[in-house]
Amino acid sequence: MSKLQPVRGTKDIFGEDARRHGFVVDRFKNLAKRYRFDPIDPPIFEFTGVFARTLGDASDIVTKEMYSFEDRGGESLTLRPEFTAGIARAFISGGLQQYLPLKLYAHGPAFRYERPQKGRYRQFHQLDAEILGVAEPQADIELIAFAYDLLCDLGLKGRVKLHLNTLGDGPSRDAYRDALVAYFSAHKDKLSEDSLLRLEKNPLRILDSKDEADRALVADAPLIVDYLTDDARAFFEAVCAGLKQLGVDYTHDQRLVRGLDYYSHTAFEFITMDLGAQGTVLAGGRYDALIETMGGTPTPGVGWAAGIERLSMLADVPEDDTRPVSIIPMGERAERIALGLAHDLRSSGLVVDHGFRGNMKKRMKRANGLNARFAIIMGDDELDQDKVALRDLDNGEQLLLSLSEVAGTVSERFKEA
């Protein structure tokens, strides 16, 4: 039998990785509550059409990266590559329209078949925040402020930069699309094969091309700012003014786009240079036509997503300063009593480590290795007096206490420390 290995692009999250991962999720959930977002947990897989329809039949995610399979009933299902499509489906099929406006947050695993690299896996984990039913720029401002506050909470202030752009409204995008088609059509001989296909289906996606020849053409392509309607320009100005009022610095990145037709107005990315190469750690935008594209009632929306793996690599995670109480029973009688004492101490809010085996020396070594604050030593001599020994591992002081006194004494000593 060959040696068992994890599937390429997956990773066991354990130990320090798990602690950092949990720190990011906890900060996100706490901040979401302060912003009054409600949790939602859509299924980890959907009918393939949910993603094919929302991400675009010709997108790289749909054509190259989705994990799709046929179930036993013959249905084509797909592991979610992102959260927004599933949340939009839940909004339509679950009758959530009655709760508008909705502010939702989610987190969990997502799946894309792409080349594994630093901070990017085939099973990865995302944070996601969405506001549905608000057409005003205040939703964009609040959502970006939420993202900014999260990154600050994670210790990334000054280490990420907000790039911001507008995609305009429908008329703006139509005019811009025509300008792009005219520009790139005049340079067809220099376009990559993928971008030639995009030219026919969605020329805005050429602006995201990684091909060097395409990038050279993109550098001189028209800018959407020159095709904005008055309403679109006013919307973007309101978003910029709101961010300035909140002290959120940004760069107007006129090359930042979202290629799919249901995107409109605000597009943004928080970018870092701390991962070796320029990397996006959080990105989002407004998608006013998404719900309608999926067959629902027209409903404005705006959202963002962030990769937990990348954030956990960058985050300023404090050292774990939890100092447990170690219970060290010696003998069968002490072992029986230790079970109840450990339970009582945990019920009182204390962190307790109960070693399961080993002599006194080994158990004390374990307690010191865990940076325990106290050790509760239980042997026949102590129990004959209905007592246990409480040893302060910082100064060596030792007290004999009755079992009923332990929880209160330990809690008071922790407060004094």
- Over residues 56-60, the mean pLDDT reads 55
Which amino acid, residue 168? G
CA distance 270 to 386: 61
Cβ 325 vs Cβ 376: under 8 Å:
yes
1 band by pLDDT with thresholds 50, 70 and 90 = very low
CA distance 301 to 293: 12
With b meaning 16 or more CB within 10 Å and e meaning fewer, what string describes 81-98?
Answer: bbbbbbbbbbbbeeebee
pLDDT digits (tens, 9 = 90+) for 61-76: 655 788 999 999 999 9
Q: How confident is the model at residue 28 (pLDDT cuts 50, 70, 90)?
A: very high
Residue 375 — φ and ψ, nearest 5°? -120, 135
Domains in the chain with CATH codes: 16-169+229-314 (3.30.930.10), 325-416 (3.40.50.800)
CA distance 183 to 222: 8
Q: What is the pLDDT of residues 324-350, one digit of tens each?
A: 999 999 988 999 999 999 999 999 999
Can you give the pLDDT at residue 65? 86
CA distances from 73 to 76, 169, 389 (A): 9, 42, 64
Q: Where are the alpha helices (DSSP H) in 154-307?
A: 170-185, 193-201, 212-218, 230-246, 290-293
Region for 345 from its dihedrals, namely left if φ exceeds 0, alpha if ψ lies in -120 to 50, beta otherwise? alpha
